[in-house]
Amino acid sequence: MSQVKQSRTNKVWWVWVVAGVGAAVFALAGTLLVGLLARTLPGAGFVSTVNYLLALDGNATWYVTRSAGVIAYLLLWFSTAWGLAVTSKVFDRVLHRAYTFDFHEYLSLLAIGFLVLHMVVLSGDQFMPYSIAQILVPFLSPYRPLWVGIGVIAFYLIVLVSVTFYLRRRIGMRTFRVIHLASFVAYLGATLHGLFSGTDSPLLATQLMYAGTFLVIVFLTSYWLLARRVKGVVKAGWASPR
């Protein structure tokens, strides 16, 4: 019976893998396609409108690194939001906890993949190529070193949190949960990095994205804290003498 359950879990996990990779590749390809269309379709009005929304006026590597950065941020946000929902037991009535936990883990790994792409492509950018040290060491960036450095630290925190998925049995669930709190710091660092070092930050679409995703995290965090408080009050009530 356990083998059948494990087989189903693996099957569902692979469905999430295919769906996640497909969606991410589609988003990346879509951004590049819009850039090409904006540069080839006639009509200055259309081009200027698209450029106003997405700032499609750079080279190919610039499109890739921007797209990878935005996708990585959205995946990190989705992973953080999903983790809060799982911890708050929002999905327990509709999905088995093993599925929701595995999906949370996969989102983190997918975010790391696009972060690596975002960082690697920067080394080949024609306008401002980065060295390996400037990419991996915080605050060495020639461009807005503080906010880029915060982004590098956020990357390392994401990697740390993701590694603990595979060390739960060795470090224990208590330590796992404590380290997992670093995901909040990582998300906040990624948000600050995107807002203050991203060239797309002045765009209305980008500002709406950051505002909307941040408000979702604030809501889910408040819900999680409230649920913990209610649970603590209930336990205290049961433990008190009658």
pLDDT at position 56 over 90: no
The predicted pLDDT at position 5 comes to 46
Mean pLDDT over residues 80-104, rounded?
A: 77
pTM for the whole thing? 0.74
Average pLDDT of the chain is 77
CA dist 105 and 109 (Å) reads 7
CA dist 81 and 65 (Å) reads 24
Give percent of the chain with pLDDT exceeding 90. 30
